[in-house]
Structure 1
Amino acid sequence: MPSTAQTGTPHLVSVQLLRAIAAAAVVFEHAQAEAGQTVEGFHHIPFDFGIGVDIFFIISGFVMWLSSSHLFGQPGGAKLFLIKRFQRVVPLYWLYTLGMLAAIWLLPDKLNNPDASPLMVLSSFIFYPYPNMIGQYTPVLALGWTLNYEMFFYALFAIALLFPRRLGFGVLSALILGFVTLWAVTSSGPVLFWGRPIILEFLIGVILARLYLEAGHKPNLILFAGFVALAFIAYWLLQGSDSRLIRLGIPSAFFASAFIFFLPGRLSGALSGIAKVGGDSSYTLYLSHPFTLAVVKIIWTKLDPAGAHPWAYVWAATLICVLAGYVLYLLIEKPLLRLWKRKPAAQPA
């Protein structure tokens, strides 16, 4: 998911750490899935590391409010917000989508769902949820379903920015709750994607940002450890729920709160370097890791054709993805950000 360290958002160590953890968790989950497809009888760790996506959504709401709340009710504020979000998120996503299209055309039998129909390609580039050949609302670059949600959040937030801050929060909340309500009574169409209760995680992040602006950061090791423990306890207690919002969203809220409000100063200082590297490159890591995993898997199957060491593959693949993500961030994402900085958007009056 996109980092906002370069777009005017306060460079909070806690937020950068959460980004790094969330991105690495998603990669680890997908590495396990790859091992499971290759080695019969492979047993995953009994934990859903896809929870990284839920942490991302909460952080997205938190950062969006923190970085853009001064734009509420300002002439041109919504436009400026959308321009910055486009610059930060869209070009890099389009680039990796083109990479996936190339993979589909060149190696269709190596992919699980090589859907490159014209409507699927168009919907992928305009962030419109369109069902693929097996009925899933996943774009050409499958993990881009989360980006479809991000663009949806941006659109709702831009609407809210047209109003004064307090009213804007009410408008944003009403829009999100309204889509969830429509989802509950709708049987077809894009609302089945946009209105899923998972979008409430974004609103949770916004609420955490409002609390943060009121209460600030209170470094406390006991409270930090307590909230992390609550996150894991909630995770294990809520696994019986069919709702992702309950099963993963609630634990993610506790986990994010631990870092946002209570991360101890010593821990923050010790991890600031890792936070910057991991947080800044988290978006590239998220977008690039399917390509890196594919390359690692091809090489690994030649080195270990019998699949005798699946866990060695999982850990090696995760580490290589993280390293490749940072290299690609330096080679591609960072230069793109510099390019946009040379053409700054006009500030609102």
Structure 2
Amino acid sequence: MSTGASIESRTLVDVPAQVERVHGDVRIQSLQHLRVLAASVIVLYHAELQITRLTDGAHQHSLGFGAAGTDLFFAIGGFILVYTTHNRKDTFAAFLYRRFIRLAPLYWLFTLLMLAVLLVSPGHLLTTKGDFWHILSSLAFIPYPHPVLGLDRPFLFPGWVLNNFAFFYLLFGSLLFLSTGRRVAALSIVLCSLVILKMLFGATSHLLDFYGSTVALDFVQGMFVGWLFLARRESPWIIAAAFAAGASIFVAGVLENVSEGAERALFWGMADATLLFVCVSVEKRWGWPEWRFLSKLGDASYSVFVSHLFALALTASILRGLRLFPMLGVSGARIVFLGAAWTVGVIVYSAIERPLMRTFNRQ
């Protein structure tokens, strides 16, 4: 593949750093570090459920802000698609192919792994049961009501994030014929319209209820950050003001106990978009620390995202079996869960994801 094709082929939260460049051969290092942050808070957010189980329900979920990691992934996704397609010609089919080979193989692998666990040891999956259409829809990135929870969530639960990405890819790819600015404007109108339609008629369609979720606004904000990054060189005063505003919004969200509700885009989405804006603007003006270890972890962020529920469940079983939780306590357990998720994710990236991508890229 050519260098341009390689750059354009990687656009999700899992995009390796070496393909994101600031008009030349300089990496956008801050994106890698933001991915590490996003994946880490998502792991901690989901680890709360395991801690609640280890304490027999005594522990109450207290990291609602961890949901902000998902919004940060969405914002980064919007930014990257705008940046990597700017002033580049591409076909709709080629665009979708490159993105879906990044999205699908690892996700399908872990979906099938979860199906195997369900068939062999169903007692380990208390909130899951086999449903042919649910599993098929999950593999096809189509929202479908969960047979146990009733929500539009796929068989591998975190896949709802990928369902949103798949939809976003379809919309973005269909507008490749437009210039960058017009593409951002047109897609923003479409996504905002879906959010408004859901507010008015969401109960009439589960697809509108899913695609009209306010997380769509995270993509919009990420795209605008990408457009501003391409068009402007921000002053220090604007960067400082954005940081202060974003920090204030985030603190307000924590104080309001915001988690995954409809208001998440007003708190987490806006806070994450301003954080993204600040980081890429700082890097464009003054540069960014390389911190190779964090950059390598950023490469594995997608593997962590797809595999972390398995890592958390396995770690919880070990802590319970060895009776280590009373010694660790809640804070110690969080550290162990986070370390385990990243360890498994890095192994998955090195042993599975990276070889898969090398094979697809050669093809």
Q: TM-score, normalised by structure 2?
A: 0.85
1:24 shift after superposition: 0.8
Contact 1:68 1:81 in 2 (8 A): no
Tell me which residue corresponds to 1:109.
123
Within 2, Cα distance between the matches of 1:266 and 1:304?
A: 49
Which residue of the partner structure matches residue 80 of structure 1? 94
Q: Which residue is 2:270 aligned to?
A: 250
What is residue 296 of structure 2 aligned with on the other side? 277
Aligned to 2:14: 3
**1:290 corresponds to which residue?**
309
- Residues 296-332 of structure 1 show CA distances to partners (whole Å, capped at 9, x for unaligned) of 1111101117745342222111111112211210110
Check conservation: 1:88, 1:337, Cα contact below 8 A.
yes
Corresponding residue for residue 6 of structure 2? none
**Residues 282, 46 of structure 1: CA spacing in aligned structure 2 closer, same or farther, 3 A cutoff?**
closer
Equivalent of residue 233 in structure 1, options 243, 248, 251: 251
- Correspondence for 1:96: 110
Residue 51 of structure 1 corresponds to which residue in structure 2? 68
Distance change in 2, residues 1:46/1:186 (3 Å): closer
Q: Give, in whole Å, the separation in 2 of the partners of 1:337 and 1:78.
A: 20
Q: Is the 8 A contact 1:224 1:263 kept in 2?
A: no
In structure 1, list runs of 5 or more residues that go unmatched. Answer: 344-349
Contact 2:111–2:156 (8 Å) recurs in 1:
yes
Separation (CA, whole Å) in 2 of partners of 1:268 and 1:68: 23
Pair 1:304 & 2:318 matched: no
- Cα displacement (A) at 1:174: 2.2
Q: Residue 130 of structure 1 contacts residue 138 of structure 1 at CA under 8 Å; is this kept in 2?
A: yes
Alignment pair present for 1:123 and 2:137: yes
Equivalent residues, number: 339
In the alignment, structure 1 residue 22 sits paired with structure 2 residue 41: no
The 8 Å contact of residues 219 and 261 in structure 1, kept in 2 or not, is answered as: no
TM-aligned CA distance change 1:294 to 1:209, over 3 Å: same
CA distance in 2, matches of 1:192, 1:225: 32
Residue 347 (structure 1) aligns with? none
CA distance 1:183–1:44, shift in 2 (3 Å): closer
Unaligned runs of 5+ residues in structure 2 are 1-11, 22-26
Percent sequence identity over aligned pairs: 27
Using the size of structure 1 for normalisation, the TM-score is 0.88
What does residue 24 of structure 2 align with? none
Matched, 1:213 2:230: yes
Contact 2:17/2:28 (CA < 8 Å) preserved in 1? Answer: no
- Give the alignment partner of residue 162 of structure 1, picking from 156, 177, 197: 177
Residue 210 (structure 1) shift: 0.5
In 2, Cα distance between the equivalents of 1:208 and 1:225? Answer: 14
Report the Cα distance in structure 2 between the residues aligned to 1:67 and 1:264, rounded to whole angstroms: 16
